[in-house]
Amino acid sequence: MNILFATSEAHPLIKTGGLADVSGSLPRAIRNAHQDIRLILPAYPAAVAGARQLKPVAEFSLPGSKAPVRLLQGWLPHTRVRLYLVDAPEYFDRPGNPYTRPQGGDWPDNAQRFALFARAVCAVAMNRTALDWQPDIVHCNDWQTGLVPALLSLETNRPATLFTIHNLAYQGLFSHDRLHSLQLPADWWSLEKLEFHHQLSFIKGGLVFADHISTVSPTYAREIRTKAFGCGLEGLLEHRKTQLSGILNGVDYQVWSPGRDTLLPHTYTATRLAGKRRDKAELQKAFGLPARPELPLLGHVGRLVDQKGIDLILELLPTLLQQHPMQLVILGTGQPELETALRAAATQYPQQLAVRIDYNEALSHLLEAGSDIFLMPSRFEPCGLNQLYSLRYGTPPVVRRTGGLADSVVDASEANLRRHTATGFVFEQADTRALLQAIERALALYRQPERWRELMRTGMQADFSWKRSAAAYIDLYAGLLDSPHQYRATA
Ligand code: ADP
Ligand code: GLC
């Protein structure tokens, strides 16, 4: 099959979160299964600098761009995945983050930027760019590509479309007048199409018009059809439930394996754990905490946003740190008020708590390796990758039973411990009491070295490689081709 995978970030070219990890590794797994999958993303400076053997292959005009748009072709590093970068310097040749300005806040022209990107994806999808290659499937990811299925619905003989939701909380909402300035069909302004509470919703382009919708875990696929998780889109998702499914993300074990991780000072495996103890000492040093090998060291890394339940950790700190001999390290960037609160807490408990407000790939690997226990008390979590990494790194995670966390961590109940299936600590309610109980269960088991080692090893040996999930995507693509465009919510 020919597949065009459209995304706004991909590791190792450009990354703000898990979408980049998935976009950098799923296409490779699908390519290894002998499918012709090609990646397309905007030509941000970092992507241009990082891509291999880049050369211009096409140039065309698109509504929304004064200058012609160029298509650069190269390879995703360390893979046989062909890469297209949409080169529109007016929109993408900018410093910093793909979505926000260096000084913070969204780029004011995000609607124009990702509308233009969507139009370029459609030009490739319809083979209008002199590439002489046409995909059978266009696989879109998150709101930044939401207009692609919508625009393709206007075409005849179009490829089938799949829209994957990595996070329903980010919807690409813009003011009504954009509909006109982006030259989108006026009849898209309706609740059945792209209107959402008097705003123009890019994500609805994917949710309404794609032939199939997927999300990144089976549990999240069910959760988003409910009010509690649907972010106002639960009605639409319920309506499309027969074309909605969940496939759990995989892990790129070439990048995330403690035995061969080039970003770690000391490597280790499930049977040779000495390197992990040394990484713990390195982590304590890097965060400026006293070197106390005997104390349990808890860790968290992630975007500092409401989704991740950082507020629960913050609220729990006094109880946790005053009642338990332990240390905690946190690495992240995000909402200013959470950054400030974490910094303040760190000054209050300098012997026990250290916080780094930073985005640092190498440090995130060291934190996964050097911690004893990983905290991930997310209020919702479409899949989550950090808990999968922490399992591999022998750092049992404490997680809430939601989304991909529920689908990947087996609670250390007495029964599961006896069955040798336990890998972490799972709690139900998003409140401090439940989180505290789960952490206390973890600390209690940590004091029983034999049982703890077994818990670590079970997690380290669990297999979340892409193989199974890539096969599930390939089945899904094939199913879409068997019944092409069975569903069309077209005009
Ligand atoms: P999300 O996509 O919601 O951010 P995931 O758990 O799926 O959550 O993936 C997060 C990815 O981003 C992981 O690879 C994680 O290591 C990385 N990451 C998040 N914050 C940071 C940070 N401050 N420094 C380095 N890596 C980070
Ligand atoms: C999103 C989700 C996260 C998921 C990632 C990759 O950012 O928040 O749970 O793992 O996308 O699919």
Q: Which one-letter amino acid corresponds to residue 120? A: A
Could you count the other beta carbons within 10 Å of the beta carbon of residue 222? 16
Report pLDDT for 484. Answer: 58
Predicted confidence at residue 95, as pLDDT, reads 87
306 C-beta closer than 6 A to ligand 1? no
Residue with tokens 């950082």: 310
In whole angstroms, what is the distance from residue 237 CA to residue 222 CA? Answer: 9
Output the pLDDT for position 488. Answer: 43
Q: Which domains are assigned to the chain?
A: 2-250+467-482 (3.40.50.2000), 274-463 (3.40.50.2000)
Please report which ligand is nearest the Cα atom of 388.
1
Indicate if ligand 1 lies below 6 Å from the C-beta of 361.
Answer: yes
Is the preceding omega at residue 12 within 30 degrees of 0, hence cis? yes
Distance 302 CA to ligand 1 centre (A): 5
**Total residue count of the chain as it appears in this document:** 491
What pLDDT, on the 0 to 100 scale, is given for residue 487? 42
| Dihedral sign from CA coordinates of 350, 355, 357, 362 | positive
19 CB near ligand 2 (under 6 Å): yes
Atom of ligand 2 nearest to the CA of 220: 9
* Residue with CA at minimum distance from ligand 1 atom 21: 302
- Cβ(385) – ligand 1 distance below 6 Å: yes
What pLDDT score does 62 carry? 96
Query: How far, in Å, from the CA of 334 to the mean position of ligand 2?
Result: 15
Q: In sequence order, what DSSP letters do the residues of 385-421 get, joined into one string?
A: SHHHHHHHTT--EEEESSHHHHHH--B--HHHHHTT-
Note whether 427 and 400 are within 8 A (CB). yes
Helix (H, G, I), strand (E, B) or coil at 20: helix
Cα 452 to averaged position of ligand 1 atoms, centre (Å): 26
pLDDT value of position 104: 85
Among all bound ligands, the one having the nearest atom to the CA of 165 is 2
The sign one gets for the Cα dihedral 448, 449, 453, 459 is: positive
Q: What is the pLDDT of residue 485?
A: 59
- Residue 165 Cα to ligand 2 midpoint, Å, equals 9
Strand 69-75 relative to strand 244-246, pairing: unpaired
C-alpha 3 to ligand 2 mean position (Å): 22
Global pTM reads 0.96
250 in ligand 1 pocket by Cβ < 6 Å?
no
Q: How far apart are CA 458 and CA 148, in angstroms?
A: 42
**Residue 364: CB within 6 Å of ligand 1?**
yes
Average pLDDT by stretches of 10, the chain with 491 residues: 98 96 98 98 97 96 94 96 98 93 92 98 95 96 98 96 98 96 97 97 98 98 98 98 98 96 98 97 98 98 96 97 97 96 98 97 98 98 98 98 98 97 98 98 98 98 96 97 58 32
359 lines ligand 1 (CB under 6 A): yes
Judge if the beta carbon of residue 399 lies within 6 A of ligand 2.
Answer: no
Place of tokens 């969204």: 106
CA pair distance 57, 70, nearest whole angstrom: 8
Give the per-residue SS3 of 21-77.
HHHHHHHHHHHHCCCEEEEEEECCHHHHHHCEEEEEEEEECCCCCCCCEEEEEEECC
DSSP string, 243-262: GEEE----B-TTTS-TTT-T
Q: Which ligand is nearest to the CA of 301?
A: 1
Residue type at position 307: Q
382 lines ligand 2 (CB under 6 A): yes
From the CA of 248, which ligand is nearest? 2
